[in-house]
Amino acid sequence: MKLFKDTYYLYIRKITETKRNPVFIAMGLIMPLLYLILFAPLLKNFASVFPNQSVIDTFVPGMLVMISFFGGLFSGYNIIDELRSGVIERFRVAPISRFAILASLILKDMTETIFVILVFILMSLFFGFKINIAGLLVLLILTSFVVITTSCFSNTIGLIFKSEEKLSPIVQGINLPICLLSGMLLPMSFAPNWLIKLAHFDPLYYVVEASRCLSHGSIFNATVGYAFGIMILLTIFLTSFSSKVFSKAVY
């Protein structure tokens, strides 16, 4: 019970910070909207080669995964700021659950990301995106796992290295190859065989493929099962690792 109360109050604290400075939500929404407005129209001439779906119905699900991936990837900068300002130091003498600190950060990232995803989907409807409600609900769960893993990773790395100069190369170093190999912008079916084989080592590739299946209602597709299986394992591993790091850092 204490864990839930601590998590709730810490979560409200982080959400209040977001309300006071909503610029990060705006930035999280502007990037995918620019892709939707300025990049998606370039794909219309390739409509005949898109498998089974329209261009926009193939493009938007990939963008939803991109939003969830970036939703937690840069959280480490915030934890570094709290380390520098002494917030984490004060937590060390506060009678609160150490796991609640991590949980509140994850929940904040999830709330912001789901809000951005829903707004982006509403905007996509004007571009011809066809929504499947059941598939969307399952997709929100799947993308939540993506946010949890990236949030855990980024906050943990930030807590370990305690420096933006050390965090940035790590975040940027994994960002580009993971995004390119996932097929967010274009399906990996267009890629040569060697690139397709390499993409299978990217967990986000399975999430993108599942996202496209879910967008047109294929909830029980095997691809969706693979994506959930991989993301659940990653979530368990990274949450466990992050929890241990936070417990030591706020001991």
- The residue type at 63: M
Report phi then psi at 93, rounded to 5: -105, 5
Residue 50's pLDDT is: 62
Residue 197's pLDDT is: 93
Q: Which two tokens stand for residue 20?
A: 């006071």
Dist CA 186 CA 55 (whole Å): 10
- Report the SS3 class of residue 42: helix
Pick from 79, 92, 106, 70: nearest CA to 162: 79
What does the pLDDT look like over 15-28, one tens digit per residue?
Answer: 888 888 788 788 88
* Cα 122 to Cα 67, 115, 127, 129, distances in angstroms: 14, 11, 10, 9
Dist CA 241 CA 149 (whole Å): 11
Residue 47's pLDDT is: 64
What does the pLDDT look like over 138-152, one tens digit per residue?
Answer: 999 999 999 999 999
Place of tokens 């909503």: 22
User: 172: buried, middle or exposed (CB in 10 Å: 19+, 13-18, 0-12)?
Assistant: exposed
Contact 76, 173 (CB under 8 A): no
Dist CA 249 CA 92 (whole Å): 8
pTM: predicted TM-score of the whole model, two decimal places? 0.92
Residue 17's pLDDT is: 83
Residue 27's pLDDT is: 83
Residue 10's pLDDT is: 85
Task: Give the confidence band of 87 by pLDDT, cuts at 50, 70, 90.
Answer: confident
Dist CA 67 CA 137 (whole Å): 16
What does the pLDDT look like over 34-56, one tens digit per residue?
Answer: 999 988 888 777 666 665 567 88
Ordered alpha helix ranges (H), the chain: 2-20, 23-34, 55-73, 76-85, 87-91, 98-125, 133-161, 164-182, 193-199, 203-215, 222-249
Given a cut of 80, is residue 2 above it in pLDDT?
no
DSSP per-residue codes, 54-109: -HHHHHHHHHHHHHHHHHHHTTHHHHHHHHHHTHHHHHTTS-S-HHHHHHHHHHHH
